[in-house]
Amino acid sequence: MNTVDPNGPSLVNIPTNPLPEGARVGFFKTIDKVQLRYATWPKAVGKQRGTICLVQGRGEFIEKYFETVENFRQRGFAVATFDWRGQGGSARLIGNKSLGHVDRFEDYGMDLRSFHGQILLPECPPPFYLVGHSMGGLASLFAAAQDRMMFDRIFLSAPMLALDRQPLSMAGMARVATALSFMGLGRLPIRRKADRPASEASFANNPLTGDMLRYLRMVDVVKARPALEIGAPTIGWVAAAMGAMAEAGSDSFPARLGIPLLMLAAARDEVVSTNAIEQLGLRLRTGRHQVIPGARHELFMESDPIRGQVLAAFDAFITEQS
């Protein structure tokens, strides 16, 4: 199964979430022949400072980051981004297109390596900086551990290193989910009673952002193109993700990261573990962490004062080398 959005690679452009100028949009195929949607933008002003490779969290899509893309372009960066396999405008991997699924967490690394080789290197100006959110942050860490030469620096927003309030450790949860997958249940969804589609009514007490306009902006995008949205993850996805988080929490993992790295954690995060980010940050040789007060999980979708802190941290981190 490898099905793609029938709308093609086009981007949703609506008044509440305008498309930044100069977008180049298309599909590319990964090493294992999965078709992914991507977009690139040139810098907007100033001298060329390189390219931001922006990778998303679980269930997200390119359109969600239009405002952030423009923030980077106004700083003199080109921007390149894509939808992970199984979500957004990229190919779905199983028959139920509403579920988030991946066979192995390493497959996200294949997506990123394929994008680096086919789009970034031939089409985008160096140096290359990797910016990742949540699940994309975890995938970014594994990319850095495998090849520290792909990117010059890595900036992460609330990376998915562990989940709090679980009945078992990440390794224990991975073993249970893997066992269920071996029993043939890997493509069944795992849903929570609290899960519901985003809407104006669901904004109150949501765990993602305190900014209502940015929250509803994504509701508008999904209304315009429902095919972009996915819902619950499958048991197989949980097995893959929990296994990756367990590996990232191992004693040996920090020594594998030899690239300049800044991880931002949200003080009020109810999606991923802020404590896990702090613990890894304290053990890095070439990196560190910073906790953003008052912030919920989606730092780039937060209120202006919080986004201001996030972008200021990005600016300071990137210019440390110049």
Q: Looking at residue 101, what is its pLDDT?
A: 96
Which residue is listed with tokens 């390219």? 51
The model's pTM: 0.96
Q: Looking at residue 198, what is its pLDDT?
A: 79
Q: Average pLDDT for residues 223-251, to the nearest whole number?
A: 97
Of the chain, the percentage scoring pLDDT greater than 70 comes to 96
Q: Average pLDDT for residues 287-292, to the nearest whole number?
A: 98
Nearest to 82 by CA among 43, 54, 41: 54
Q: Average pLDDT for residues 139-147, to the nearest whole number?
A: 96
Q: Give every CB contact of residue 287 below 8 A, 6+ residues apart in sequence.
A: 154, 257, 259, 260, 261, 262, 263, 281
| Helix (H) or strand (E) segment spanning residue 131 | strand 128-133
Say if residues 60 and 87 touch (Cβ distance below 8 Å). Answer: yes
Say if residues 128 and 318 touch (Cβ distance below 8 Å). Answer: no
Q: Using CA atoms, how far apart are residues 223 and 173, in angstroms rounded to an integer?
A: 34
Cα-based distances in Å from 235 to 27, 80, 187, 314: 28, 31, 6, 35
Domains of the chain: 24-321 (3.40.50.1820)
Q: Give every CB contact of residue 182 below 8 A, 6+ residues apart in sequence.
A: none
Q: Looking at residue 9, what is its pLDDT?
A: 87
Q: Looking at residue 121, what is its pLDDT?
A: 98
Q: What pLDDT band is residue 11 in, cutting at 50, 70 and 90?
A: very high
The per-residue pLDDT for range 180-207, each reduced to its tens digit, is 999 999 999 998 655 677 788 889 989 9
The per-residue pLDDT for range 69-79, each reduced to its tens digit, is 999 999 999 99
Q: Using CA atoms, how far apart are residues 224 and 249, in angstroms rounded to an integer?
A: 39
Q: Give every CB contact of residue 68 below 8 A, 6+ residues apart in sequence.
A: 54, 300
Nearest to 48 by CA among 21, 27, 73, 11: 73
Q: Looking at residue 201, what is its pLDDT?
A: 85
60: DSSP letter: -
Q: Is the pLDDT of residue 208 over 60?
A: yes
Q: Using CA atoms, how far apart are residues 292 and 280, in angstroms rounded to an integer?
A: 16
Spell 245-257 as b/e; 16+ CB within 10 A means b: bbbbbeeebbeeb
The SS3 of residue 79 is: strand
Q: What pLDDT band is residue 320 in, cutting at 50, 70 and 90?
A: confident
The per-residue pLDDT for range 240-280, each reduced to its tens digit, is 999 999 999 999 999 999 999 999 999 999 999 999 999 99
Chain-centre distance of CA 74, in angstroms?
21
Q: Looking at residue 322, what is its pLDDT?
A: 46
Q: What pLDDT band is residue 147 in, cutting at 50, 70 and 90?
A: very high
The per-residue pLDDT for range 23-60, each reduced to its tens digit, is 999 999 999 999 999 999 999 999 999 999 999 999 99
**For 8-12, 78-82, 155-159, 251-255, which range has the lowest pLDDT when averaged over its residues?**
8-12
Q: Is the pLDDT of residue 295 over 50?
A: yes
Which residue is listed with tokens 């779905």? 92
Q: Is the pLDDT of residue 139 over 80?
A: yes
Nearest to 51 by CA among 22, 80, 25, 26: 80
Residue 227, judged by CB atoms within 10 A of its CB (0-12, 13-18, 19+), counts as middle
Q: How many residues does the chain have?
A: 322
Q: Looking at residue 42, what is its pLDDT?
A: 98
Q: Is the pLDDT of residue 213 over 90?
A: yes
The SS3 of residue 25 is: strand
